[in-house]
């Protein structure tokens, strides 16, 4: 009996998936992507006006706190600590459409889904995140997750990063950084510093750690770059800049880099015993192929109002947007209220007054007891949330990354709540009382 019930249930699911649904539904607001940016924006919008008719289009059954994958790779926390059911983070009054958007037609104010349905909208918010182009590195897709080849940029391999670090015996550990924009530009270094510390504890000097980056420095913001150069020097990490990973030869454990020299580009092979890859990334293909993309493929929005540059009823935020700042969840947290306020103004035919200043934050773990809370704006100015020198490595910032930020994400940000007043004000008061010399 139970077998036949199960079979018919499966058949029903299959037939639902196979049915090409040509129906058209209409929503006042359609949000594409139920990740960090999409859920935060939806929650804030519905807090402002619970009557909004709002749909979130998100294919995934699960919602991931991706900043946690760094902690998984460093052996600080298990992967299951950073995942929730998507249904549990979708705001109660929002309609969840579980499907992929395949095409966007802003002239007709509609989009189509993988299963054929058309969604018409009055207003559109685009935040489908960034696409990881594993295939652009020859040999990488087939070698990931074994033989010491790993990446924290996937939930599937973050645990393997820790396994690899734990079991590393001797030799060369390479950490790469690509030419393209990536999410959390600091993540490839965070795992490197933890690995280096772990190796030193267990292996003494029998290893070398190498940072092979397509860039020309450790970090784009001068104030934080200076500290990181000091960290690398202190740790004895070898840096190789203008090294762009092109191929993994898993059989011979070789990483092949395109190296920019005075004479042009040369292919250079470096032997690895483990390699952590930060892969190339780009805007999702369906955005690139749509009229909503700029010439680099990103959702083409005004950097201050986050309104689309050509379609005024469209807004964009998060990793898929053209915003010229570092792509982080922290940035999305500051972008969401700007989209919310400006979209509501647009709906009420008011001028768009809210402005985003490019705020982003990268909690740069530099060891198992230290981190730099690298907060900055469009101009590369440090914008610390607390009155402390933000360029200093601090244990308190490590604790913030491990404990406070995940809590804020699940319990405040995704619920559309602010937290600055609750958390920063009392800390600020404490710091003002005891001064900047407090050893935290
Ligand atoms: C290893 C790692 C470490 C990081 N560390 C930090 C950190 O310390 N601090 C920090 O602030 N940020 C960090 N980040 C970056 C942060 O996770 C992202 O910047 C943030 O999640 C961006 O939010 P988003 O909503 O734009 O994209 P996402 O959160 O990726 O969400 C995009 C959503 O869109 C959905 N989607 C994709 N395609 C479609 C489609 N066709 N149709 C509909 N939906 C679609 C996806 O399923 C996904 O749920 C880190 C990321 C990684 C991977």
The residue ranges of every structural domain in the chain are: 9-130+283-347, 134-281, 360-434
Confirm or reject: Cβ of 394 under 6 Å from ligand 1. Answer: no
Q: What percentage of the chain's residues is helix, strand, coil (to nearest 5)?
A: 35, 25, 40
CATH fold label, 134-281: FAD/NAD(P)-binding domain (3.50.50)
Q: Among the atoms of ligand 1, which is closest to the Cα of residue 363?
A: 8
| pLDDT value at residue 22 | 81
Tell me the three state secondary structure of residue 426. helix
Using CA positions, which residue lies closest to atom 29 of ligand 1? 35
Determine the distance separating the centroid of ligand 1 and the alpha carbon of 183, expressed in angstroms: 8
Collapsing DSSP states into helix, strand and coil, what is residue 180? coil
- Tens-digit pLDDT profile for residues 308-343: 999 999 999 999 999 999 999 999 999 999 999 999
- CA of 404 relative to ligand 1 center, distance in Å: 19
Q: What's the Cα-to-Cα distance from 308 to each of 11, 111, 161, rounded to whole Å? A: 43, 16, 39
Tell which one of 57, 100, 284, 329 to mutate to probe ligand 1, the residue whose CB is within 8 A of the most ligand atoms.
Answer: 329
**What's the pTM?**
0.93
- Ligand 1 centroid from CA 337, angstroms: 18
| pLDDT score at 422 | 62
pLDDT of residue 15: 42
**Fold match between domain 9-130+283-347 and domain 134-281:** yes
Give the pLDDT confidence of 57-87 residue by residue, as tens digits. 999 999 999 999 999 999 999 999 999 999 9
* Angstrom distance (rounded) from CA 246 to CA 257: 5
Task: Measure 128 CA to ligand 1 centroid, in angstroms.
Answer: 8
Residue 428 has a pLDDT of 63
Q: Is the CB of 100 under 6 A from ligand 1?
A: yes
Measured distance CA(192)–CA(24) in Å, rounded:
49
Q: How far apart are CA 365 and CA 164, in angstroms?
A: 19
The atom number, within ligand 1, closest to the CA of 154 reads: 53
The dihedrals phi and psi of 321, each to the nearest 5 degrees, come to -85, 165
d(CA 132, ligand 1 centre) in Å: 11
Q: Domain 9-130+283-347 has what CATH class?
A: alpha beta
Q: pLDDT at position 370, please? A: 97
Q: Which of 318, 278, 319, 320 is nearest to 152 (CA)?
A: 278
Q: How far does the centroid of ligand 1 lie from the alpha carbon of residue 130, in Å? A: 7
CA distance 250 to 8: 45
Which pLDDT score, from 0 to 100, does residue 437 have?
53
Task: Return phi, psi of residue 178, to 5°.
Answer: -90, -175
Residue 432 pLDDT: 63
pLDDT for position 252: 98
Query: What residues are labeled active site?
Result: 184, 362
Look at ligand 1, atom 26, and give the residue with the nearest C-alpha: 318
Protein residue whose Cα sits closest to atom 17 of ligand 1: 66
* Ligand 1 pocket member 290 (CB < 6 A): no
38 lines ligand 1 (CB under 6 A): yes
**pLDDT recorded at residue 46:** 98
Residues of the chain with pLDDT under 50: 1-18
332 lines ligand 1 (CB under 6 A): yes
CB 181 less than 6 A from any atom of ligand 1: no
CA distance 340 to 176: 37
Residue to substitute in 152, 328, 406 for testing ligand 1 pocket (most ligand atoms within 8 angstroms of CB): 328
């Amino acid at each position: 009996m139970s077998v036949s019930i199960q079979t018919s249930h499966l058949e029903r699911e299959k037939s639902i998936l196979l049915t090409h649904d040509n129906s058209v539904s209409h929503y006042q607001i359609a949000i594409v992507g139920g990740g960090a940016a999409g859920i935060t924006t939806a929650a804030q919008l519905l807090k402002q006006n619970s009557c909004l008719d709002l749909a979130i289009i998100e294919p995934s059954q699960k919602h991931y706190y991706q900043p946690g994958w760094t902690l998984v790779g460093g052996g600080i926390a298990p992967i299951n600590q950073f995942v929730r059911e998507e249904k549990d983070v979708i705001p109660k009054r929002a309609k969840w459409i579980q499907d992929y958007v395949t095409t966007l037609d802003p002239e007709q104010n509609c989009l189509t889904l993988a299963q054929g349905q058309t969604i018409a909208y009055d207003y559109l918010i685009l935040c489908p995140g960034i696409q990881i182009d594993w295939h652009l590195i020859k040999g990488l897709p087939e070698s990931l997750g074994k033989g010491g080849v790993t990446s924290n940029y996937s939930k599937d391999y973050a645990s393997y990063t820790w396994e690899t670090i734990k079991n590393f015996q001797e030799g060369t550990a390479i950490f790469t950084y690509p030419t393209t924009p990536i999410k959390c530009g600091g993540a490839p270094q965070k795992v490197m510093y933890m690995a280096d510390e772990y190796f030193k504890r267990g292996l003494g000097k029998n290893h070398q750690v190498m940072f092979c980056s397509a860039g020309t420095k450790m970090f784009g913001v001068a104030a934080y770059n200076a500290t990181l150069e000091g960290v690398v020097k202190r740790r004895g990490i070898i840096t190789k800049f203008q090294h762009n990973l092109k191929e993994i030869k898993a059989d011979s454990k070789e990483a092949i880099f395109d190296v920019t020299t005075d004479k042009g580009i040369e292919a250079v092979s470096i032997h690895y015993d483990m390699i952590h890859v930060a892969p190339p990334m780009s805007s999702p293909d369906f955005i690139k192929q749509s009229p909503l993309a700029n010439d680099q493929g990103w959702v083409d929005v005004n950097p201050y109002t986050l309104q689309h540059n050509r379609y005024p009823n469209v807004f964009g935020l998060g990793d898929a947007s053209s915003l010229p700042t570092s792509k982080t969840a922290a940035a999305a947290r500051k972008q969401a209220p700007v989209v919310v306020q400006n979209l509501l103004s647009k709906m009420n035919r008011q001028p768009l007054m809210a402005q985003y200043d490019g705020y982003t934050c990268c909690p740069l773990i530099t060891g198992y007891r230290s981190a730099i809370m690298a907060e900055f704006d469009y101009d590369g100015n440090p914008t610390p949330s607390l009155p402390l020198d933000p360029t200093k490595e601090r244990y308190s910032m490590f604790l913030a990354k491990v404990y406070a930020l995940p809590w804020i994400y699940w319990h405040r940000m995704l619920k559309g709540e602010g937290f600055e007043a609750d958390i920063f004000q009392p800390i600020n008061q404490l710091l003002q009382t005891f001064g900047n010399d407090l050893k935290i």
